[in-house]
Chain A
Amino acid sequence: MQWEETQKKHVILYPEGIVELNVPSTEILKLCDGAHNAEEILAELEAKFNQTGLKNDIFSFLEVAIENGWVS
């Protein structure tokens, strides 16, 4: 994941591809650091944004991220 100043976005780069991330996706991926499990990521983000009910959104994004090899 790298910050692109001209796009004002984080992007993921891999062979033949670019994924331009929105703010929520960036926040999720920042926590994919090997130290947090999925439940902890959820708890941390719900606390940070003072929201509940994010489980479906976050878990489905994580599935996409794993399937595409953005996180392992």
Chain B
Amino acid sequence: MAGSVNQTITSPRWLLAELTYSCPLQCPYCANPIDFASIKNELGTDDWLRVLSEARAMGAVQLGFSGGEPLTRQDLPILVKHARQLGYFSNLITSGYGMTEAKIVELKEAGLDHIQVSIQSPEKTLNDELAGTESFEHKKEVAHLVKKHGYPMVLCVVVHRKNIHQIREILDMATELGADYLEVANTQYYGWAHLNRDQLLPTKEQFEEAEAITQAYKETVKGKMKIYYVIPDFYEDRPKACMNGWGTTFLTIAPDGTALPCHSARELPGLVCPNVKDMSVYDIWHHSEAFNHFRGYEWMKEPCRSCPEKAKDFGGCHCQAYLLTGDMHNTDPACSLSPDRERVYEAIFKARNDSELGNVKPLIFRNPKNSKALA
């Protein structure tokens, strides 16, 4: 089932270092695995320093420090400093929770290139409700401090049915905070978001309106703020070229050292993901079963195998194929050619139903208690 071994393996360009699953927030669309609370044994500082060095030697150049909340790691400045010495372009992906001005200065001196702050909603009540913690005012303050200390400021807002009606306010907030980049990220339905999909997936009308507003706004801020608009592929005809192709560009290292071809891959049963405690990053990238599994086209079933578009989208997202059809080798049902396309319509129908009933289903928040109960 493994992909062709004869094809050229490109070098990783992007390393996502998920330093920890600890997080003071409880966002119900978190991309972390449902069973995060039972995953122990965080990598120590020395292992992380080695991982950064090995991945850099292979060509990785973009580096994201993520989590959980990466600020909970006390060794963050040491890792940032090492990344700078290696020549990475490094990004801290944070909720802002626990950030202080002193820390912002310390990380700048250590060589951090930019900071991405996430805000759940431009409105305090909803922000704090979605985050499961009172954090709104502090997040705004952090956004100001990020600017004040000369970082490019990237604001990230994850969009779903609870906040999509606030899209104008989201865009205005980004302008008001002086964001250099705004990521309007429609929720991708993995991990906790998959669990809460009926409660989070917008209707097609809501999505189309939000997209139109954002695209129009993009024109008005051209040259001042760059807007990345991440589409929700449930309303598309063709799947996304997930991860720019499996094992071609992206490498994620989870808090316990598990190496993942995409950050959701550990939820794929039957995929044995290697660990940096057992193998070098080079061997993981080139020789592990998991990273070779979906390389090339050999693994494909129909309709992908004979599809002229396979070189463009690589069959879409394997995690989505698994979550919607139970088999990660199936065509991603986000493609209208998928024989399982019905699964997408069902998801849309169930979400619309919850919406029409007045959003009756309660959100399941991402916290250790729920994680343990669900595992």
Contact = CB atoms under 8 A, between A and B. Distances in A.
- Residue from B57, B61, B183, B222 with most neighbouring chain A CB atoms (10 Å): B61
A37 interface: no
B62 A18 contact: yes
B11 A7 contact: yes
Interface string A10-24: 010111111000000
A4 B61 contact: yes
Interface string B119-152: 0000000000000000000000000000000001
A18 B244 CA distance: 13
B231 to A, nearest CB: 15
A15 B114 contact: yes
Contacts of A6: 11, 57-59
B229 to A, nearest CB: 12
Interface residues of B, number: 23
A24 B363 CA distance: 53
Number of contact residues on A: which range applies?
A: 10 to 19
B59 A15 contact: no
A4 B116 contact: no
A51 interface: no
Nearest to A17: B62
B59 A16 contact: no
Contacts of B345: none
Given A2-B87, A4-B61, A7-B59, A15 B11 contact: no
B154 A18 contact: no
Contact of B61 (A11, A15, A67, A69): A11
A7 to B, nearest CB: 6
Contacts of A14: 89, 152
Contacts of B62: 13, 17-18
A16 B228 contact: yes
Interface in A1-42: 2, 4, 6-7, 11, 13-18
11 contacts: A2-B61, A13-B62, A13-B89, A13-B113, A14-B152, A15-B154, A15-B180, A15-B181, A16-B154, A18-B61, A67-B223
Given A13-B61, A14-B152, 16 more contacts: A2-B87, A4-B59, A6-B11, A7-B11, A7-B13, A13-B62, A15-B113, A15-B114, A15-B154, A15-B180, A15-B181, A18-B13, A18-B61, A18-B62, A69-B223, A69-B226
